[in-house]
Amino acid sequence: MARALKFSSIWRKGAGRMKKDSGDVPRALYWVALNIVLAERPSRIKKVLEKFSDLPGAFQASREELLSIGLHEAETQELSSPKNFDRAQKEIDRARKKGYSLLTLEDVEYPAYLREIFDPPGVLYCAGRLEVLQGPAVAIVGTRRPSPYGRAVAEKLAEDLASRGVVIVSGLALGIDSIAHWGALKGGRTVAVLGSGLDNMYPKQNRKLSQKIMENGAVVSEFPLDAPPYAQHFPRRNRVISGLALGVVIVEAAVKSGSLITAQMALEQNREVMAVPGSVTSELSKGTNGLIKTGAKLVESWEDVAQELPTPLREKLLGQREGETRPLPLLTDQEAEIYKLLRADELSHVDELVDKCPYSVSELLALLLNLEIKGLILQSPGKYFQRRM
C-alpha cells in the first residue's frame, strides 16, 4: 500500500511565487495532488509525466512550462497552490481512516496490466484486497437492461471463470455488470471499477454488492473520494476495466452501447475482445453480433474464453476439464417437476407456473425457493424465474 505519511507544509518564497521544498514532501502526496487537479483529464497527467521525469519538478515548474504541455491557466494555478497540497493531505488522511489503499504509478503493487495502457490512472483508490489486482483477470460487461438469456450467460460465465481462479472485472453498473459480479462471488473474486469516488458509490442500488465485493475482491476508482458520477466519467472508466484484464467479453450490447466503447479500448490496449452471440432479431444482440462479424471471438462457454488467454494460463485452465464433474443437487419429485417447466433463455412468471402445476401459489413459491437455494434457478423482480445455465 502507498504509505499515507503525515505532512507538514513547508513553503519558501522564490521568484515571486510559492514553492515547495520537495525534500520534505512524501511522494504519495505529489501524486494525489496531481490527481486532484487532473483526474478529469488523464491524458494531461500523461503529458505532465512525460515532461517531468521527476514528479516534484511539475509543481516547481513555471506557468509557461505547464501551459506549453497543454494545461489550462486554471490548472497551472491550482497545481502550484499551497491549498492543493492541503487538499491532498486531507484526502490521504481520510482514505487511511476508511481503510482504503492509494496506489500510484510508482508503487510496486500498482496493477501490472493497467500500467501498460496508454494513459493509466496516476492514482488508483482501492477498497478491499490489493492482491486481487495482480491476479489474471477477464472483464465481463454488457447492457444495463439484459434479457433473461443475457442474465443467465453472464452469471454462468463469471462463476465458471472465477471458480477456476480468474478474477472477473466489471463496472458495478446495473444489468450485466452486476450479474457478472454476483456470479463471480459465487465462485471466486471480482473487481468493480467505479465512475465516481469511493465515497460516492454509484449506483446506490449496488452498495450492498460493493460491500460483498470488498470482502474478497476490490472496488477501485481513479477519481477523488467525493467525485460525483458524471456522465463523462464512465467512458474513461471503461479503459480501466479493459486495462485491468487480459480480455473483455461483451455479453449483450446494442449498436450504440458503452460496452462497445470498452471493446474498442480493449483493442487499442491489445487485449482480447470476445462476444456472446445472440438472436438476430434482438436489439441487444446487434452490438455483440457485429463484434463477432468483425473478428471478435465467439463465446459460448468459459472454455472459449480460456482459449484466448496467454499460453500458460490457457493450459492451466483447460487442464482443469479433465475429470471435472459437478454433481447435481438431489431434487424431490416436486422440485424436479417445477424445474422441468423452466427455461434458461426466458422468464416464467409464478402465475404462469401455477397454471401448469397442481400446487398452490404458496407451495409453488416454497419449491422455487428450494431450487434457488440449490443454485439451479434465478429469480428476477416481479416473481419471474428462469433456469441457470
Q: Are strands 247-250 and 272-275 parallel, antiparallel or unpaired?
A: parallel
| CB count in 10 Å sphere of residue 169 | 31
The per-residue pLDDT for 328 is 61
**In one letter, which amino acid is 224?**
P
The candidate with the shortest Cα–Cα distance to 126, out of 217, 235, 241, 226, is 217
User: Which class is 333-387 in CATH?
Assistant: mainly alpha
What is each CA distance from 358 to 39, 168, 211, 333, 378, in whole angstroms?
A: 60, 41, 41, 13, 22
Distance (Å, rounded) from C-alpha 365 to C-alpha 362? 5
Per residue in 26-45, pLDDT (tens digit) is: 889 999 999 999 988 888 99
Per residue in 229-278, pLDDT (tens digit) is: 999 999 999 999 999 999 999 999 999 888 999 999 999 999 999 999 99
Do the beta carbons of residue 319 and residue 326 sit within 8 Å? no
CATH 3.40.50.450 fits 128-319, yes or no: yes
Distance (Å, rounded) from C-alpha 14 to C-alpha 16? 5
Per residue in 355-377, pLDDT (tens digit) is: 888 888 888 888 888 888 887 88
C-alpha cell at 91: 484526502
Task: Name, in order, each residue with C-beta under 8 angstroms of 261's C-beta and a sequence gap of 6 or more.
Answer: 235, 238
**In one letter, which amino acid is 379?**
Q
pLDDT (tens place) for every residue of the chain, 389 residues total: 333 333 323 222 222 233 344 445 688 999 999 999 998 888 899 899 999 988 999 988 999 999 999 999 999 999 878 899 999 999 999 999 999 999 999 999 999 999 999 999 999 999 999 999 998 999 999 999 999 999 999 999 999 999 999 999 999 999 999 999 999 999 899 999 999 999 999 999 999 999 999 999 999 999 999 999 999 999 999 999 999 999 999 999 999 888 999 999 999 999 999 999 999 999 999 999 999 999 999 999 999 999 999 988 898 898 876 445 556 678 888 888 888 888 887 888 988 898 888 888 888 888 888 888 887 888 888 888 888 87
Residue with cell 458495478: 172
Percentage of the chain exceeding pLDDT 90:
64
The per-residue pLDDT for 189 is 97
The per-residue pLDDT for 53 is 84
- Domain chopping of the chain, boundaries: 11-96, 128-319, 333-387
Q: What angle do CA 39, 194, 184 make, to 5 degrees?
A: 145
Q: Look at residue 101 and give its three-state secondary structure.
A: strand
The per-residue pLDDT for 297 is 96
Distance (Å, rounded) from C-alpha 263 to C-alpha 247? 9
Distance (Å, rounded) from C-alpha 26 to C-alpha 89? 10
Q: Which residues pair with 24 in a beta bridge?
A: none
What is each CA distance from 231 to 10, 204, 222, 327, in whole angstroms?
A: 38, 16, 15, 45
Asked if 128-319 and 333-387 have one fold, the answer is no
Do the beta carbons of residue 246 and residue 309 sit within 8 Å? yes
| CB count in 10 Å sphere of residue 61 | 20
C-alpha cell at 344: 434458461
pTM beyond 0.85: the answer is no
Distance (Å, rounded) from C-alpha 312 to C-alpha 321? 15
| Half-sphere exposure of residue 104: CA atoms within 13 angstroms, side-chain side | 19
